[in-house]
């Protein structure tokens, strides 16, 4: 039992490391446009985003419970078997996060984690662990469909919301109007950071909850305890504060040069989509990255479709599509390596 506890603590520590990488990988989501329009200075923006991530992480657990119970069914496995699957999933997700961060691509940490869980579960199936079930139907329902729908919704809502804003303020003095929107961006970027914490920190809560269930510290029907919420919230907040400058440049400048009005609309739409996904009955673990990036493209397209740098957008979409399978493939390799090392020991 002692070795299982050590493994569980190790898994939780790595989960918090993933949460930290999620924070600095996705920090740009909430503040890139506010920084690029000079609504906020970079360090002030990161401080605000870190605080709002902390608050958002403590507001709910529905998405966390989806991650913990509806991606891979581990009932019937021994404790060390459950923990090795979770460990491999985290290593796969962290690896892909670091690769995309290095190249400045705003991929989804959420989908990296889900892909890692599915891949580690598939690795267990490949070596004939009969009690493992990758719940493909739930993955399609809870992940794949929202993965396609959320960027489409974000782009469409942002486009039409921006059209409405342009019409409403068509006769206003440009300089005064942009100054007001720049002030408004402080609130919209804070709202988006809150949504990021609400969505992304919960995914790590779900993984830590899985590890705690494996060693008997919690039961699936008891809900996620406060200590898990607090750990996940603090880790993602610390990661956010450490910054994400590479991806911030991609979202803030390389996709399109965003003005304060477009930044305000993109952030507001992104926050609304995140809240709806978290609080509606589907409890979908959607990607903050996908949502805000598509919203930025949507507001940019109101200027002209040529204003959006579609070459950069194409690279981002390729990273989106590759995230789940690449994280899954990496998790399979990690899982098989863990089993090989365990056999040697």
The half-sphere exposure of 140 on its side-chain side, counting CA atoms within 13 A, is: 3
- Look over the chain and give the mean of its residue pLDDT values, rounded to a whole number: 82
Q: What is the mean pLDDT of residues 67-88?
A: 84
pLDDT of res. 252: 47
Contact 31, 48 (CB under 8 A): yes
pLDDT of res. 53: 84
- Within 10 Å of residue 4's Cβ, how many Cβ atoms? 16
Cα–Cα distances in angstroms (integers) from residue 314 to residues 97, 99, 157, in the given order: 19, 18, 20
Report d(CA 274, CA 269) in Å as an integer. Answer: 9
Instruction: Give residue 91's domain range.
Output: 2-344
pLDDT of res. 258: 75
- Encode pLDDT of 265-288 as tens digits: 999 999 999 888 878 776 777 877
**Residue at token pair 């069914």:** 73
Q: Tokens for 13?
A: 């520590």
pLDDT of res. 76: 76
Q: For residue 220, what pLDDT band results from cuts at 50, 70 and 90?
A: confident
- The end-to-end CA distance of the chain, in Å, is 17
- Encode pLDDT of 165-212 as tens digits: 999 998 888 888 988 999 999 999 899 989 888 887 888 888 898 888
* pTM of the full structure: 0.81
Q: Tokens for 309?
A: 């740098």
Count of domains in the chain?
A: 1
């Amino acid at each position: 039992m002692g070795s299982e506890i050590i493994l569980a603590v190790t898994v939780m520590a790595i989960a918090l490391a993933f949460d930290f990488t999620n924070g600095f990988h996705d920090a740009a989501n909430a503040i890139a446009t506010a920084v690029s329009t000079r609504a906020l200075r970079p360090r002030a923006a990161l401080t605000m985003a870190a605080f709002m991530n902390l608050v958002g992480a403590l507001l709910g657990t529905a998405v966390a419970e989806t991650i913990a119970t509806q991606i891979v069914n581990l009932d019937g496995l021994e404790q060390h078997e459950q923990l090795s699957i979770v460990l491999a999933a985290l290593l796969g997700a962290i690896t892909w996060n670091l690769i995309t961060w290095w190249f400045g691509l705003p991929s989804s940490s959420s989908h990296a984690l889900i892909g890692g869980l599915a891949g580690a579960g598939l690795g267990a199936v490949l070596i004939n662990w009969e009690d493992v079930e990758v719940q493909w139907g739930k993955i399609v329902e809870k992940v794949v469909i929202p993965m396609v729908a959320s960027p489409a919704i974000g782009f469409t809502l942002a486009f039409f919301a921006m059209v409405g804003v342009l019409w409403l303020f068509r006769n206003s003095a440009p300089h005064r109007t942009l100054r007001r929107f720049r002030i408004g961006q402080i609130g919209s970027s804070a709202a988006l950071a809150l949504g990021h914490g609400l969505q992304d920190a919960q995914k790590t809560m779900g993984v830590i909850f899985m590890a705690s269930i494996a060693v008997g510290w919690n039961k699936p029907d008891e809900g996620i305890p406060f200590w898990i919420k607090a750990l996940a919230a603090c880790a993602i907040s610390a990661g956010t504060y450490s910054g994400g400058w590479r991806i911030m440049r991609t979202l803030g400048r390389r996709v399109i040069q965003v003005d304060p009005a477009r930044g305000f609309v993109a952030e507001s739409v992104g926050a609304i989509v995140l809240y709806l996904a978290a609080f509606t009955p589907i409890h979908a673990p959607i990607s903050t990255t996908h949502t805000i990036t598509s919203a930025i493209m949507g507001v940019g397209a109101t200027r002209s479709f040529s204003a959006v740098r579609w070459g950069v957008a194409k690279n981002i979409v390729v990273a989106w599509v590759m995230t789940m399978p690449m994280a899954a493939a990496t998790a399979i390799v990690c899982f098989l390596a863990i089993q090989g090392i365990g056999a040697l020991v």
